[in-house]
Structure 1
Amino acid sequence: MSTTNEPDHVPPVNDYVDEATNVDDIVNPWEVKAGSNTGVDYDKLIRRFGSSKVSDDLVKRIERIIQKPVHHFIRRGIFFSHRDVDQILLAYEQKKPFYLYTGRGPSSDAMHLGHLVPFIMTKWLQDVFDVPLVIQMTDDEKFLWKDLSADETNRLAYENAKDIIACGFDKDKTFIFSDFDFIAQCPKFYRNICKIQKCVTYNQVKGIFGFGDSDCIGKIAFPAIQAAPAISSTFPFIFGEKQKQELACFIPCAIDQDPYFRMTRDVAPRLNFPKPALLHSVFFPALQGSQSKMSSSDPNSSIFLTDTPKDIKNKINKHAFSGGKASIEEHREKGGDCEVDVSYQYLRFFLDDDEKLQQIREGYSSGQILTGELKKTLIEILQKLVADHQVKRQQVTDDIVREYMRPRELKFRY
């Protein structure tokens, strides 16, 4: 990991070949596709991106510092890779201030379970470290990349904010903002965007993100907009107009977002702000399996936060890819494959009882538990999770959203 002023390794965003199986994995901010039915090879991805694996020693250090067990997302390797998390832990030990930053690209009314994952992790980090959080709604990005109007992506930003607020973020410590609405209100934000843009050449951004000659100039300029919230002076109303030095920033996100922040880390020494630290998650699989793509336009590709209990039951039973065998007799004899079974993979995310998860894994792998029984367990868990979320979301009014999105001072320890 890099804690010096040496430039980060910033490889181009393109397809790469899994040499062992001779198949392609595609991983970039706009497309993720696994070449194998077991999913993306994350060890190879770590080597390609130049990040560090979340080691047992790092997990133990986190637990020693916070004096409680880590979230099961970390314990199970769902958040598996990082950049400079050890520096964030050092700052916490030394009582130096830092803040959290994550985001959402609003392209549909309904978020799905995969969208919840970084926010669940971020909520836990905010609680254990007691730090402020900024959440960027990139309605501008979705306008540039999708066939949607600016008014529509802006509306979706506010709708998606309700789902994010329903995750339980502390209003006194959380600022949510729409790019379309906030940039015009905050000169420091735009100034930092321009500073970053001046540090990155067209050839560099083309190499990092794979832009082509037919891409609009808005796409080419956008990476600096996602980078700027990693600079604390972007938010003078939170951290002070006369801030003596930039604060450290800690970003939990899926690893497909890493190219944005490799670029950010590369320009940080030139602009005299700390390199942001990152904690990367694996990808949440589509119901049809790791080689399929979740899509907001395909309601059967995932469980959405608007689904009814009946929807959830039907989707899991009909569409969740099974690692079971063709017949009951064969399954009892040979057992199921947890590595490709989507129901088991979803339980890794949403069943927080380690002992019960291990019992399910052993039972399914040995053939004692059938696919139908495994799916029944998952259905019950997801029905409760989604129903609870819907109740919380119904309590989030437009006035509450406006309060979270109002530029204001936040409360934190330092």
Structure 2
Amino acid sequence: MDDEFKVTPWDVEGMVDYAKLIEEFGTSPLTDELLEKTARLTKSELPIFFRRRFFFSHRDYDKVLADYESGRGFFLYTGRGPSGPMHIGHIIPFFATKWLQEKFGVNLYVQITDDEKFLFKEKLTFDDTKRWAYDNILDIIAVGFDPDKTFIFQDSEFTKIYEMAIPIAKKINYSMARAVFGFTDQSKIGMIFYPAIQAAPTFFEKKRCLIPAAIDQDPYWRLQRDFAESLGYYKTAAIHSKFVPGLMGLEGKMSASKPETAIYLTDDPEEAGKKIWKYALTGGRATAKEQREKGGNPEKCVVFKWFEIFFEPDDKKLMERYHACKSGELLCGQCKRELIERVQAFLKEHQKKRKEAEKKVEKFKYTGELAREQWDKSIPEPLKK
């Protein structure tokens, strides 16, 4: 891959060329035809994640739509590794997933990988990852999923996942796992086994699975596509998003390990505003006078990119902002202040829903229709009496 950027499941660096990434990863572009078919089948206007090509690439999404059109249906699978608090970059793909669930009326499985983060993060205890699991689940529930069509499960609790992983583990040899995940002689055996557990939810139903996720996660599903049909299941499909940049530049992605680049979902709105004002990179000129004369550069501006990805739902207003910046009519301070207002409003609403989510955890994990159906499959018959 070109030296100017790097994309792996663990690291994203540089200015990502998404067209090159499609070629490198061997995926397909999300075409106008597929998006038009999505709008037609759902009888809905597409959300900004699709209209503005934040989701830009796919594997077998065309087959997912064909399955839906024919009546076979499909299901959704996504997840979260609970190693710390969630930020805006983490949650945006969940909003796209919510739209897909709502418009297609399908089941969603959300895997909370508290075991994985314990195995892969040297400094985290198992109690740490379990605590972060609960914290992250509140953020996910706050997005607004259907509690009877959504099953949120922790690997450490839903041990049926181990039984499902065993036949998968028999299909993956060490050289395959090492080639995809970069394992070494120092890698713990739990880490080496883990890809089988992560693939297991793609087999929860005898339908095609669709995974909405950032493209850096794609290597996890390439393995599944190698052996799924030999187990009598479909190769999993995926739609890939771009990365939400951190505050300080368009390179890489927002990172929880660099707090100054991220807005966390639990940040105090006032503090979040100060962080944006202090750190957010703009495409402005050195002085207001120069900007009025020469105009700004929204293509190089994190503030504009955040409006484009999530914080300006109106396409016409987004283009007005773009041209006002280019003409010098709109100065960076004003644009930042407007973004701060949007982010603060989002955080206040999300945190209100997050508090309400505390009463809903049980339903999403144990007692909702889909959750109960999955737990019933995992309970031995004698214990059901």
Cα deviation per residue 1:344-366 (whole Å; 9 max; x = unaligned)? 01101221111100100111122
Matches within 5 A, 1:295-306: 295-306=255-266
**Is 1:329 matched up with 2:289?**
yes
Matches within 5 A, 1:6-17: 16-17=1-2
**Is 1:32 matched up with 2:8?**
no
- Aligned with residue 227 of structure 1, among 191, 199, 207: 199
Cα deviation per residue 1:192-251 (whole Å; 9 max; x = unaligned)? 311111111111111111222222121111111111100125xxxxxxxxxxxx211111
Tell me which stretches of 4 or more aligned residues in structure 1 moved more than 3 Å. Answer: 292-295
Partner of 1:62: 38
Q: 2:100 corresponds to which letter in structure 1?
A: L
Work out the number of aligned pairs and report it: 369
Partner of 2:180: 208
**Is 1:287 matched up with 2:262?**
no
**Is 1:143 matched up with 2:104?**
no
Cα deviation per residue 1:114-135 (whole Å; 9 max; x = unaligned)? 0111110110000000011100
SS in 2 for 1:199: coil
Q: 1:84 corresponds to which letter in structure 2?
A: D
| Kept in 2: contact 1:28–1:256 (CA 8 A) | yes
Matches within 5 A, 1:12-411: 16-17=1-2, 23-34=3-14, 39-108=15-84, 110-146=85-121, 147-183=123-159, 186=160, 189-233=161-205, 246-291=206-251, 294-350=254-310, 351-397=312-358, 399-406=359-366, 409-410=369-370
Stretches of structure 1 lacking an aligned partner (at least 5 in a row): 1-15, 18-22, 234-245
- TM-superposed deviation, 1:309: 2.5
Change (3 A) 1:292 1:63: closer
Cα deviation per residue 1:369-399 (whole Å; 9 max; x = unaligned)? 11111111111111111110001111122x5
| Kept in 2: contact 1:136–1:178 (CA 8 A) | yes
Stretches of structure 2 lacking an aligned partner (at least 5 in a row): 372-385
Change (3 A) 1:94 1:209: same
| Kept in 2: contact 1:175–1:407 (CA 8 A) | no
Q: 1:43 corresponds to which letter in structure 2?
A: A
- TM-superposed deviation, 1:407: 6.7
Distance 1:150 1:393 in 2: 24
Distance 1:213 1:231 in 2: 30
Change (3 A) 1:407 1:264: farther
Deviates more, 1:205-214 or 1:113-122: 205-214
Distance 1:71 1:279 in 2: 14
- TM-superposed deviation, 1:293: 5.2
| Kept in 1: contact 2:56–2:241 (CA 8 A) | yes
Distance 1:215 1:24 in 2: 28
- TM-superposed deviation, 1:330: 2.1
Q: 1:382 corresponds to which letter in structure 2?
A: V
Considering fraction of residues, name the structure with more helix. Answer: 2
Change (3 A) 1:407 1:177: farther
SS in 1 for 2:213: strand
SS in 2 for 1:300: helix
Deviates more, 1:205-214 or 1:156-165: 205-214
Distance 2:360 2:35 in 1: 36
Q: Percent identity?
A: 46
- TM-superposed deviation, 1:61: 1.2
SS in 2 for 1:58: helix
- TM-superposed deviation, 1:70: 1.0
Distance 1:190 1:306 in 2: 33
